[in-house]
Amino acid sequence: MRPGSWLWALFATLLWSGLPTASALAQSSAQTGTPVDLELVLAVDVSRSMDPDEQELQRAGYVAAFRDREVLRAITSGPLGRIAVSYVEWAGAGRQLVVLPWTLVEDTASGERVSQALAAAPFEARRRTSISEALLFSAALFRDSGFVGARRVIDISGDGPNNEGVPVEEARDRVLDQGIVVNGLPIMLKQRRMSGFFDVGDLDLYYEDCVIGGFGAFTVTVVEPAEFASAIRRKLILEIAGARAAPDPGADDRDAPAPPTA
């Protein structure tokens, strides 16, 4: 051994013994996600029962929402002043598409980037309606979001009941067991002219009974095309603020979520 080589060997031993192992590095990286007030998956129905004009109105509602001053104010008013959002389009089992990967929204510029990405994405209608698979797919996205949210929420829209995949109540309960809240946006533009075997007369009640769940879960219903933008805006503000929906003035009490209890 060359003179002094034992010193280098000792130095190397001390150096490497002080470095984290690969498993420790992986564990550390999993714990260093960016903290946000809310991790939000927007799970949007693009089944063929949604007419092209309805799909355009729905997408336009989300594009407008992330440019809306009140939505951005709700985001920046949180304890951390930022949220993470992902946008998923879904239809039947195995037909889910991440249109917008997890994206940080913390100011007007980042909100504009979300709006531009959604506006540029193509439309693609798909067959069947699997709310259950949409919920499970959306819940899995939280595992590798790169963020650590004080709250995790799935905001799911749809114009019909579950007609493919596992039972929706089973999927919903599996999602709730992970500490994820599920809110709903039932789209009831065609409720007065049901035409399919799978249609239900009271989609809002179906969502309340079978789809939504978790602390403070609520629905906001769309019954007219002109309501898309305002309903989406209102719902996002409530989700970001962690509030529950209050009845709209003049709305049927049956359609309004119950007010929070003391």
Phi-psi region of 235 (alpha: psi -120 to 50; beta: other; left: phi over 0): alpha
Residues in the chain: 262
Does residue 222 contact residue 231 with C-beta atoms inside 8 Å? yes
Query: pTM of the full predicted structure?
Result: 0.79
Rounded to an integer, the average pLDDT of 138-160 is 96
Asked if residue 148 lies in contact with residue 35, where contact means CB atoms within 8 angstroms, the answer is yes
* pLDDT bucket at 191, cuts 50 / 70 / 90: low
Q: Is 21 helix (H, G, I), strand (E, B) or coil?
A: coil
| pLDDT tens-place string over residues 65-111 | 999 999 999 999 999 999 999 999 999 888 999 999 999 999 999 99
| CATH T-level topology, domain 34-244 | Rossmann fold (3.40.50)
